Structure formats: C-alpha cells, structure tokens
Amino acid sequence: MTIPKRQLGPFTVSAVGLGCMNLSHAYDVVPSVQDAAQLLDRSLDLGVTLLDTAALYGMGDNERLLGKAVGHRRNDFTLASKCVLFGKDGKRVLDGSPAAIADTLEASLERLQTDHIDLYYLHRLDRNVPIEDSVGALVRAKEAGKIGAIGLSEMSAETIRRAHAVHTIAAVQSEYSPMVRNPEIAVLDACRELGIGFVAFSPLARGMLAGSVRGDDYVEGDIRANMPRFSGDALAHNLSLADRFFALAGEAGCTPGQLALAWLLAKGDHIVAIPGTRRVERVEENLGAAKIALSPDTVEQIDELFVPGAVHGPRYLAGAQAQIDTETFPDEELAAG
C-alpha cells in the first residue's frame, strides 16, 4: 500500500502513523505482547512509517514493546517518544527539569534498545520549569546525538514560540479531532507560520468517532472512565452527535474512522494523524483514509456539527487539565478543582 507522505521537521513520514499507547495501557483490554508485536510489525509492512510512544505509556512497557518487537526494523520508521511525564514507583510524575529529562532519555534509550530517538517530545509543560530550560536539555541531547529533533505536546502557541526561539521545533502534538478543536484556536496557525509539523493524537475521539464507544461500561483501568465527556448524560449527548457523524460517513462512502482522519488531513498539509488500534484491519482502514479527498461541503458539515460547545463535558478531570497548556475556548466546559 502506497501511503501519502508528509513532513515533520527533517522527517518524511506516512500521513497516518500509529499511536502505540493503547498497546500497553489506556483503553479496553491490553493485548498480549505477542499480539501487540504482530500488529506493530504488520503496520510497518502496510506502510506506516511513524511510531509514537512515550516513557509514561505502560510505565515504560510500551517502549520495551517497541524495542523488542520492531527494534530490528529501525530503518523502516521514524521513532517518536516523550519525556517530562514518566512513571515512578507505579505513579505518574511530571518533571521538566533538565536532570529529569536527561535521566528519562537514558532510560527510554535502554528500553527501546537503541542509541537514538528520532523525534523526542516534551510530553507536557512543567509550569515550575521555564520552557527554555526544558528545551535546552533537549538541545544538549541532540548535540550528543541521542535525539534527532525536538517536539512539544499539548502546548499553547505562546509556549511554542518561546521554545522555537531556543531551538527549531520539528513537531507539536496535541489532541485534535472533529470533536476536539482546541488546536484551531492558535496552535495550527502558529505551526504553519513557523514551519512546524502538527501531529494529531486521539484523532478518532478516543474511539467515539470509530463506533467503539456506545456506553460507559468500561473495563477496569480504561482512562475514559475518568473523562467527564465519556460518561453519564454527557456521553449520551455526545453519542447523539456521533450518530449524526456516522450518517455523514455513509453519505461520503467511507467508514466513520476514515471520515475523521480525512477531515483532519484536509485541515492542513502540515498535519499528521496517529490513531491507535489493536486490530490490523483497523490499521488498513486508517491508512486508507489518507487517500480520501473530502468535498469542501463535507468538511463544512463536520465543522458545523462539532462547533465549539457542541460536545458536552470537560476533556479531563481538573488534575489532568492543569497539565494542559493548549488554549481553551471561552465557553469550554472545564472540570472544577
């Protein structure tokens, strides 16, 4: 399968990559290591050339998985990982200090069984550390040959500009889907202006726009159970919006997941999507979206269906939202805390 390519800094990658988080934690039942390894290997065979992981995912297990499963194929893909958020004694830690970044990087290199990570992100903004100091730590890592390019995740246009003034930023990653439009406030424009690639995580709205969420009876450990828009009355309302989206997919002659991804890719040629999945057939479906050209009318209908305020419930509980630097809409629901 020939997949359209897009640019992330110095890297040319498939327009649809693979977010690897759910192969180790987060959603539904985690697959076996063998099944996860087979999916990673098959994804590369199908044309995926961007694999995205992080020190936090599975408390390091996700990086171990990639190192073991596809480390022997390092020349076949761009490897992206993240620091600042990591696990310690089974708990999530936020630390953007240069010392913590250096330690996290060394541990990630060991887990990934490599001496070089192509694209290394600051996973979140540590408000106790100047962004210039955190970026400076990555500059030193790049000079030492341990990383190839620098990225930021869930950061505002202002923070992006400050970071970019220290060193060229190759990519900015944030949640972006028809249901989560925050990057449209300022980040997408800032990336376009500065020549920075944009990577959309959770492009299928954590499964809601792929039809895999129909109720809030999540298995233990599923992170959606603690996301207000994925339970109760908010979920019921949001599923009604999803049903209307599914109807648009039928009219467009594609699956709902493909419609969400095609909509994203139509928003700018500097945008790359990294949906996650545990099923090879979904990888094939997602990659097919990169070849779908939506009509301007279809894009507009999706825009109008999910105007800011249409989706009910905050993205996160208060503690997690406090670590998000990306701009919020004036009328956006935010969790109290």
- CA 134 to chain CA centroid, Å, is 20
Whether 27 is catalytic: no
Under 8 Å between Cβ of 317 and 226: yes
Q: What total of structural domains would you count in the chain?
A: 1
331, part of any domain: no
256: tokens are 């709902």
- CA 194 to chain CA centroid, Å, is 20
The pLDDT score that the predictor gives to residue 245 is 98
**Which candidate, 194, 80, 94, places its Cα nearest to that of 147?**
80
**Which candidate, 127, 122, 117, 120, places its Cα nearest to that of 153?**
122
Give the β-pairing of 78-83 and 50-52.
parallel
328, part of any domain: no
| CATH classification at residue 178 | 3.20.20.100
Per the residue annotation, which of 57, 120, 121, 176 is the catalytic one?
57
- Domain that includes residue 133, residue range: 5-321
Under 8 Å between Cβ of 156 and 127: no
Q: How distant, in Å, are the alpha carbons of 206, 237, 266 from that of 262?
A: 16, 24, 6
- Only one residue has tokens 């359209």, namely 4
115, part of any domain: yes
**Which candidate, 49, 61, 48, places its Cα nearest to that of 22?**
61
Under 8 Å between Cβ of 119 and 78: yes
User: 6: which DSSP letter?
Assistant: E
332, part of any domain: no
The pLDDT score that the predictor gives to residue 2 is 86
The pLDDT score that the predictor gives to residue 34 is 97
The pLDDT score that the predictor gives to residue 46 is 97
Low-confidence residues of the chain, pLDDT below 50? none
Query: Distance between the two ends of the chain, CA-based, in angstroms?
Result: 48
pLDDT digits (tens, 9 = 90+) for 259-281: 999 999 999 999 999 999 999 99
The pLDDT score that the predictor gives to residue 1 is 66
330, part of any domain: no
